[in-house]
Amino acid sequence: FDLKALIRKWQADGALGSRLEVLQRLVELQLAPLPCSGATPKFEPSRARSGARALAAAVTLTGRSIVSLPGDTNKEDRVDPEAVLPDWPEQDLDALLRTGVFDDVVYASVRFRHREIRELLTAEWAKELLDRAGARPEVEALFFRTQYGEQVIVPRLRPTLCWLLVLDEGVRDRALALEPDIASEGGDPSQLPLAVRQQMLAGIVAQIAADAK
């Protein structure tokens, strides 16, 4: 997948970039063609990406990997896109679900083609909400919980959190204070500020030394 993403980015731009830049550009390229039977809806790129982000978040938060196409009567254990994006016309929903971000249609349903793209889109969705006035406590509560009197990171959202560290300073500082090595689990640590990477490395070394005692 990494090689294919790099090739696609190179073919489109004649340049590579960081891991974050490659995946963000790949999402943009995959969302660009929005075919629909007989016509192509005139989507704004930002609207298409916002819709993909919302669906990615629904899959991540519910643990349901399958997304129904509009009109699918078998919605048990599937994400219903009409519930996630109620203001989208059925034709536009169908077109969005047939873009390259998703796999081919099987039994009136699709899945996100790549796990890491889904995680990145979920992180972008969370960042959108974090930037809204007063929404931060509720959004951060999705990623951090208090368990037996201790602050912990929600296991299901760890991969998404790795990307969110790069996108949001407040979440980054909170997560690294709890687990300095979480940034090394995924996402794109190279995009973190140098001082943060130095602090993170020092924390990892200190933890290894403490465990060795």
**Amino acid present at 33:** P
- Three-state secondary-structure class, residue 79: strand
Mean pLDDT by 10 residues, the chain (213 residues): 80 87 90 56 81 97 94 85 94 91 91 94 97 95 92 94 95 90 88 87 82 79
**Among 99, 96, 97, residue whose Cα is nearest residue 109:** 97
pLDDT for 54: 97
Indicate the DSSP class of residue 145: E
- Answer whether 52's CB lies under 8 Å from 27's CB: yes
Residue tagged 């930037």 (tokens): 131
pLDDT for 41: 56
Cα–Cα dist 113/45, whole Å: 19
pLDDT for 15: 86
pLDDT for 33: 56
DSSP H or E stretch at residue 164: helix 158-167
pLDDT for 125: 97
Instruction: Kindly state the tokens that stand for 34.
Output: 């929005």
Cα–Cα dist 77/205, whole Å: 43
Residue tagged 């078998």 (tokens): 74
End-to-end, the C-alpha distance of the chain in Å comes to 40
